[in-house]
Amino acid sequence: MKVKPHILVIDDEPQILRALRTILEAKRFQVSIAATGEQGLAFAASEQPDVIILDLGLPDIDGVEVCARLREWSQVPVIVLSVRDEEKDKVLALDEGADDYLVKPFGIGELLARIRVALRHSAQLHGSPEPVVRGGDLEIDLARRVVRKKGKEVKLTATEFNLLAYLASNAGRVLTHRNLLEKVWGPEYTDNVEYLRVFMSQLRRKLEQDPRHPRFLLSDPGVGYRFSSDD
């Protein structure tokens, strides 16, 4: 890994670009900028940035398509920026391989957290995955299929564990309903969101201090779920 992580921002709004460049450079990132999808793709191919921040509403090609084309040859983490109007596009971009998304307007703290997760995840892609995921008083041993809360083992059903394990091994990233259903239940279940609702609610009851105000197992309305390991 380079000393200064390299971030490519693909967006056509000059003011957003100006703000992002100032803020990210202050946070010791190397920042490059592309104003169109084509430019962004060309730059990504030649410079190989560590993270790409991608706006969905681009002047030339759709952000979703940029994402799909990028995924044909690169695993670089992509964080999608969208306004609420692009709800469906957002899910589509995630299903097309984007790693995460942020809704405009967003707080910079959120963006930095997403960038950290993305960098960590891309480092994991190259190394071996962590066998144990920790978050607060939770400890998820992926290899031994054991979950402990405050050191005490919690009994989970097979599906509950599979769901938790998949979320935890992607800690910090949002996983779409479709993605979760396909990975945990199988491709023929991709529309049965009710399965997710029930199993997430069970997991929360077993693992969260206050299931009504979850700390680890977060809903991303209209998109999916996210395991948050941040304290």
Partner 1 sequence: MAEPPESRLRTPALFPILIRHFLALGLVLLSTGVLFLLRSSLNTSTIALLYLLPVLLCTMLWGLGAGLSAGSLAFLTFNYFFIQPYYTFKVIHTQDITALVIFFLVALLISQLVGRAKQNLIAAEAREQELASLYEISSSLAGVNRREEIVQILARQVQDIFLAARVEIEVLPVSDEAGFRLSLPDEKAYRQDPPAWVVPLETARGVGGEIRLWRKMPFAPESENSMLAAIAAQGALALERAALTRAENKARVLEESDRMKSALLSSVSHELRTPLSTIKASATSLLSGEVEWETEARLDLLNVVDEEADHLNQLVGNLLDMSRIEAGALEPNRQWNLISEIVSVALERMKRDLEDYRVEVDICEDLPFIPVDFMQIERVFINLLSNSAKYAPKGTVIRITARTENDHTMLVQLTNQGPHVSEEHLGSIFEKFHRVTNAERVTGSGLGLSICKGIIEAHGGRIWAENLAEGFAFNLVIPLTWNGRPATLVETEN
Residues near partner 1 (CB under 8 A) are 84-85, 87-88, 105, 107, 157-160, 193-195, 197-202, 205, 212-214, 219, 221-222
CB of 64 to partner 1, least distance (A): 17
CA distance 153 to 125: 29
Residue (39 or 228) nearer to partner 1, CB: 228
Query: Would you state the structure tokens that stand for residue 221, as one six-digit string?
Result: 């309305």
Residue (50 or 95) nearer to partner 1, CB: 95
Residue (35 or 56) nearer to partner 1, CB: 56
Contact 160, 204 (CB under 8 A): no
Residue (99 or 160) nearer to partner 1, CB: 160
Residue 195: HSE in the Cβ half-sphere, 13 Å Cα cutoff: 17
CB of 189 to partner 1, least distance (A): 11
CB of 104 to partner 1, least distance (A): 9
Contact 216, 207 (CB under 8 A): yes
CB of 193 to partner 1, least distance (A): 5
CA distance 118 to 66: 18
Residue (7 or 223) nearer to partner 1, CB: 223
> 């304290």: which residue's tokens?
231
CB of 197 to partner 1, least distance (A): 5
Phi-psi region of 82 (alpha: psi -120 to 50; beta: other; left: phi over 0): beta
Residue (41 or 93) nearer to partner 1, CB: 93
CB of 107 to partner 1, least distance (A): 8
